[in-house]
Amino acid sequence: MIHGHKAALWRKEYEQRLARLRADYKAEQESRARLEEDITAMRNSYDVKLSTLEQNLRKET
């Protein structure tokens, strides 16, 4: 019976570690998605500001 108990403990530990790894992976994926959104927003903001600057420079000439 001891072997069955040890196997059950190992199984439980394995499942806990796997759940933790999955949670970490999911959090990392969500963080990456937020980072990509931030980069896209920053790039769009840069493009708008650059376009506005170019238009203003054309008006001055």
Instruction: Give me the half-sphere count of Cα atoms (radius 13 Å) on the Cβ side of residue 55.
Output: 6
Please state whether the predicted TM-score (pTM) of the whole model is above 0.95: no
In single-letter form, the type of residue at position 5 comes to H
**10-56 pLDDT per residue, tens:** 999 999 999 999 999 999 999 999 999 999 999 999 999 999 999 99
Task: List, for residues 20-31, the tens digit of each pLDDT value.
Answer: 999 999 999 999
Q: Look at the chain and report how many structural domains it folds into.
A: 1
Domain that holds residue 43: 1-61
What's the gap between Cα 22 and its chain centre?
A: 14
Question: pLDDT grade, residue 1 (50/70/90)?
Answer: low
